Structure 1
Amino acid sequence: MIESPQFPPLLSGQTVPRHTDPFDKAVSQAIAGVDSGTIFYSEAGDMLRAALVLAPETPLEQAIQAVYVAQIGLAESLGALAPPEVPVHFQWPDRIKVNGAVCGRVRFAADGADPQEQPRWLVIGIEVPFIPANDEPGQNPNETCLLEEGCSDVQPMALLESWSKHTLLWLTYFMDSGFDRVHNEWRPRCDTLGKMIEQPRPGIFVGLDEKGRMLLRQDVMTETVSLIEFAEQT
């Protein structure tokens, strides 16, 4: 029997059937008016899939910065549960990397796409694979799972529980201090900063601006790219 995760105050959990996507369930329940702070999650053992519903009190361009908070929460959780030598990094806008290979992602959707409008809800989900997706290790060298990275002792529900606690802590920092503290914590974990990238568009990833938008340099021009562009459509 899988032991139910314990969530911190202000957050609560709801399981979904094994073949139901927690992210889709969270979006549908957010539209229906479920309480902010509800985490929908699957108890499947091959991958951690969970989604947190939030009710922002700021315009979308500020609220979307909570995506970085969720990434930090996941990195800190893996850092606490995985062997100490396992590095965790980010690949903008939504990938999580373990030992240099992609090991999951963050998903997000909001009520509306206008940066200046306050959304009624924001859903942020995480997906972290625990075992290989197929029987041929190394078939996709740029992708990995926790088992292949020496994290066999990490259990999905333990990671979910830890993620909820670390994410809530960083949401508190974010609401109290704004984006600066989040940015300072996120930046060293992004392994493509200062490098030429091809996605989402070719250019040099200079960094993030004060609104959390990517600064992408192309020749002498620098453009901004917002996380809002990568929100899933609902």
Structure 2
Amino acid sequence: MSGPAFPPLFQGLATAGADPFAAACSEARAGCDAGLVTYDITLDRLQAAIVFAPEVPLRDAMVMLPLCGIGFQNALGALAPPEVSVHLEWQGNIRVNGAVCGAMQVAASPQEPEQEPDWLVVGLTLELWSAGQDKGDTPDKTTLYDEGCSEVDAVHLLEAWVRHSLVWLNRWDEDGVRPIHIEWTGLAHGKGDTLSFGAQSGTYIGVDETFGLLLQQDAQTVMIPITQTLTEAP
């Protein structure tokens, strides 16, 4: 069976059980070209990662996290039944019909916000199937197939994620961050709720022009830069 088919300039690398996010970071450190897509698909989980080389400071390059989130929402929206809803959390969680179904994470080197990164990797983990586990124990967590998406083929979803992310990457390159900001805001989960991140807590009121998290704390508004969502590369 052939592997996933990706657009030109993207290359697939199956990791055969290894963590695709770690593999992508390792390949990026070794100097691979941007556009590498690492992936591992099992019966119960889809894991993948994309290597980018954005030629802007890291604080601006971090738009790749919400951009890839939009790409995933568009991809699943095209393949899933129309009643299935997909929303995105600021720090990367993916919610399907209101419950957490997966997450995205991001790593880059170097991590200085004003410096152009040598590479940036966005990883995706999506729970496909609960394998008979009792959902009553974790009502805020779900799987794709538990939400009526059993007909969605994981390979096709991976291909669609890369394609739709590329569409938004091209749009960002041509039109800047504003279209990404507008689209993502319409998909954001939890606006108006109390949100905690690190030591900060407050009412989630939105994001600024560089996707910094805005929390209302009594009479003041606190901004948490999106670079705070960076994880250490495995």
TM-score, normalised on structure 1?
Answer: 0.95
Amino acid aligned to 1:14: L
SS of 1:233's equivalent in the other structure is coil
What corresponds to 1:193 in structure 2?
Answer: 191
Does the Cα contact within 8 Å between 1:83 and 1:151 map onto a contact in 2?
Answer: yes
The worse-fitting range, judged by mean Cα deviation, of 84-93 and 194-203 is 194-203
SS of 1:202's equivalent in the other structure is strand
The worse-fitting range, judged by mean Cα deviation, of 39-48 and 64-73 is 39-48
**How far apart, CA to CA, are the structure 2 residues paired with 1:119 and 1:15?**
25
SS of 2:135's equivalent in the other structure is coil
What corresponds to 1:232 in structure 2?
Answer: 231
**How far apart, CA to CA, are the structure 1 residues paired with 2:131 and 2:121?**
26
Q: Does 1:14 align with 2:13?
A: yes
Alignment of 1:120-131 (within 5 A): 120-131=118-129
What corresponds to 1:218 in structure 2?
Answer: 217
What corresponds to 2:175 in structure 1?
Answer: 177
Amino acid aligned to 1:210: E
SS of 1:198's equivalent in the other structure is strand
SS of 2:101's equivalent in the other structure is strand
Deviation at 1:133, TM superposition (A): 6.1
Deviation at 1:83, TM superposition (A): 0.5
Counterpart of 1:24 (choices 15, 22, 25) is 22
Q: Which runs of 5+ in 1 are unaligned?
A: none
Amino acid aligned to 1:16: T
Amino acid aligned to 1:177: D
**How far apart, CA to CA, are the structure 1 residues paired with 2:94 and 2:41?**
21
Q: CA 1:12 to 1:116, structure 2 compared with 1: closer, same or farther past 3 Å? A: same
What corresponds to 1:58 in structure 2?
Answer: 56
SS of 1:118's equivalent in the other structure is coil
Q: Does 1:202 align with 2:207?
A: no
Q: Does 1:144 align with 2:142?
A: yes
**How far apart, CA to CA, are the structure 2 residues paired with 1:21 and 1:138?**
29
Does the Cα contact within 8 Å between 2:210 and 2:226 map onto a contact in 1?
Answer: no
Does the Cα contact within 8 Å between 1:45 and 1:156 map onto a contact in 2?
Answer: no
Deviations 1:15-48 (A, max 9, x none): 1112x00000000110000010110001323211
SS of 2:8's equivalent in the other structure is coil
SS of 2:23's equivalent in the other structure is helix
Matched residues, number: 232
Deviations 1:125-171 (A, max 9, x none): 11111001662232200000011100000121111000010000001
SS of 1:162's equivalent in the other structure is helix
Q: Which runs of 5+ in 2 are unaligned?
A: none
**How far apart, CA to CA, are the structure 1 residues paired with 2:217 and 2:132?**
38
Q: Percent identity, please.
A: 39
Does the Cα contact within 8 Å between 1:37 and 1:52 map onto a contact in 2?
Answer: yes
Q: CA 1:136 to 1:195, structure 2 compared with 1: closer, same or farther past 3 Å? A: closer
Amino acid aligned to 1:202: S
Amino acid aligned to 1:6: A
**How far apart, CA to CA, are the structure 2 residues paired with 1:222 and 1:7?**
42
The worse-fitting range, judged by mean Cα deviation, of 129-138 and 116-125 is 129-138
**How far apart, CA to CA, are the structure 1 residues paired with 2:173 and 2:11?**
19
The worse-fitting range, judged by mean Cα deviation, of 46-55 and 192-201 is 192-201
